[in-house]
Amino acid sequence: MSKEDLLLLDFWVSPFCMRVKIAFAEKGLAYISQEEDLLGGKSELLLKSNPIYQKVPILLDNGKPIVESSNIVYYIDEKYANQNPLLPSCAYGRSRARFWADFIDKKVYEGGMAIWRSTKADELELAKKEFVDILKKLEGALGDKDYFGGDNFGYIDVIAISMTCWFHAYERFGGFKVDEECPKFDAWIKRCLKRESVASVLPDPEKVYEFVVMLRKMHGIE
């Protein structure tokens, strides 16, 4: 492998890695993926490339590390701006995209984790309520548009859709259905899944569920 290659330090079930791969697919870019064993031991390359957080994804471009998934997607879109732009062209649209990407990063994964890590009925009920409220806020931002940016699949869609392959696990442990709670958001998920860039990247939700079952056992949750 030459330094000129785009190398992604990856983990198959990480929604944060998935969004980078979806961005690559949308741009039609070739890259090399190096799967990390996050549970068994992180590689020296990972530790050296992201010494602050020591987590994936990491994009190595020309040997230079770019970290944090939403930042990596932003970097890819900026560097390859002429290839199917993901971010809006106007400053307001770009600021809105960054705001919602930040909201998704701070709320969705943590909200879902609160569901599968709950050990008491009242904790679970609260976690489920808060998670549905997060999705309803996103549903409000989506409005009646096909995608968050309007007619075209874009930056916010890339950031958000990767999270949804974990929803089946949240539904199983939480005892709810996204399509019943947030039908417009569910319709958006189904719309995105028709895109090759998304369908080819997102893993089988049942395999994600099995992974979460394993995580629960690791944390002593039965």
Same domain, 97 and 120: yes
Same domain, 125 and 64: no
CA 62 to chain CA centroid, Å, is 25
**How many percent of the chain have pLDDT more than 70?**
98
The answer, yes or no, to whether residue 9 has pLDDT greater than 70, is: yes
Strand order of the sheet with strand 58-61? 32-35, 6-10, 58-61, 64-67
The predicted structure's pLDDT at residue 40: 82
In Å, what is the CA distance from 179 to each residue of 1, 96, 134, 190, 217?
44, 26, 14, 10, 28
pTM attached to this predicted model: 0.95
Same domain, 22 and 120: no
- Is residue 1, in this structure, part of any structural domain at all? no
Task: Look up tokens 């569901």; give the residue.
Answer: 115
Q: CA triplet 22, 148, 96: central angle to 5 degrees?
A: 100
Q: State the residue range of the domain holding 33.
A: 6-79
Same domain, 214 and 164: yes
Running DSSP on this structure, what letter comes out for residue 162? Answer: G
Q: Which two tokens stand for residue 220?
A: 């002593």
The answer, yes or no, to whether residue 2 has pLDDT greater than 60, is: no
CB 175 within 8 A of CB 129: no
Query: How far apart are alpha carbons 199 and 52 in whole angstroms?
Result: 32
- pLDDT category of residue 222 using cuts at 50, 70 and 90: confident
- pLDDT category of residue 1 using cuts at 50, 70 and 90: very low
The predicted structure's pLDDT at residue 4: 52
Residue-wise pLDDT for 62-105, tens only, equals 999 999 999 999 999 999 999 999 999 999 999 999 999 999 99
Same domain, 146 and 197: yes
Of the residues 79, 113, 134, the one at which a domain ends:
79
What's the mean per-residue pLDDT of the chain? Answer: 95
Residue-wise pLDDT for 10-64, tens only, equals 999 999 999 999 999 999 999 999 999 988 889 999 999 999 999 999 999 999 9
Same domain, 112 and 213: yes
Same domain, 64 and 110: no
- pLDDT category of residue 176 using cuts at 50, 70 and 90: very high
Same domain, 146 and 126: yes
Q: CA triplet 111, 115, 121: central angle to 5 degrees?
A: 135
The answer, yes or no, to whether residue 3 has pLDDT greater than 70, is: no
Q: What does the pLDDT average to over 183-199?
A: 98
How many CB atoms are located within 10 Å of the residue 47 CB? Answer: 11
- Is residue 84, in this structure, part of any structural domain at all? no
CATH number of the structural domain spanning residue 44: 3.40.30.10
Q: Residues with Cβ < 8 Å from 168, sequence gap 6 or more?
A: 205, 206, 208, 209
Residue-wise pLDDT for 136-149, tens only, equals 999 999 999 999 98
Number of domains in the chain: 2
Closest listed residue to residue 169, CA positions, set 205, 140, 196 = 205
CB 153 within 8 A of CB 26: yes
Same domain, 214 and 104: yes
Residue-wise pLDDT for 106-128, tens only, equals 999 999 999 999 999 999 999 99
The answer, yes or no, to whether residue 201 has pLDDT greater than 50, is: yes
- Is residue 86, in this structure, part of any structural domain at all? no
